[in-house]
Amino acid sequence: MKRTKKEFFDYNEYRDRGMAYKWDTAFAIGELQEGIKESSAESSRDLERIPQQDRKYIEYCLERSIKHNKILEIQLNSLDELGRVKEPIWGNFRGFCDLDVVMIGDHYLDYEDIRYIKIHDFRKWSEDPDVLEESPFGTNNVDVNNESDQELIDAAFNEYFNDNEWIE
């Protein structure tokens, strides 16, 4: 069997580009369409600006997150370069890095920049439904730093730091 070279002849004054050009442009068009979809989703984003929460409740949520390893959703006071509300930040509270810098997940945030905070309590669906009705992390159970708690904290602090005993 003898192989012959394939030859393509022009038909009705149409010159075909060849397969190399077709595949190269098809790949670029796919990437272009993905970019357009992402860009349109970003430009149509319109998040609601939630009212500023009380600092005591924000501290309560941070405390619950670090003690019980709960995931937080945080909306910031700062806006993006177009003046829109930024996407919420999700993650666990991992502690303070400085006096006013908190670490949420892998993000370093200014403590004063926290506008709204919400604890997400993920539980198994198979748990007892009576237990699921009342969440220990809801706003109805917030009893943040009432006077007796603050007095106990101050007494423990003074007892620990003012005992006048030095360990050498």
**What CATH number corresponds to the domain at position 88?**
2.30.30.100
Is the pLDDT confidence value at 152 over 60? yes
Is the pLDDT confidence value at 142 over 70? no
Residue 43 lies in a domain: no
Q: For residue 10, name the pLDDT band (cuts at 50, 70, 90).
A: low
Provide the residue range defining the domain that includes 116: 55-136
* Distances in whole angstroms, Cα of residue 148 to Cα of each of 54, 58, 151, 153, 158: 20, 20, 5, 9, 15
Residue 71 lies in a domain: yes
Between 85 and 126, the higher pLDDT residue: 85
In this prediction, residue 103 carries a pLDDT of 93
Domains contained in the chain, number: 1
Residue 99 lies in a domain: yes
Residue 128 lies in a domain: yes
Residue 148 lies in a domain: no
SS3 call for 110:
strand
Residue 5 lies in a domain: no
Residue 161 lies in a domain: no
Residue 49 lies in a domain: no
Walk across the sheet containing 101-104 and list its strands. Answer: 107-110, 101-104, 89-96, 71-76, 114-120
Question: What pTM did the predictor assign?
Answer: 0.54
- Write the burial class of residue 41 (CB in 10 Å: 0-12 exposed, 13-18 middle, 19+ buried): exposed
Instruction: Output the average pLDDT for the chain.
Output: 79
Per residue in 106-120, pLDDT tens? 999 999 999 999 998
Per residue in 12-56, pLDDT tens? 777 766 666 666 666 677 788 888 888 887 777 788 888 999 999
In this prediction, residue 118 carries a pLDDT of 92
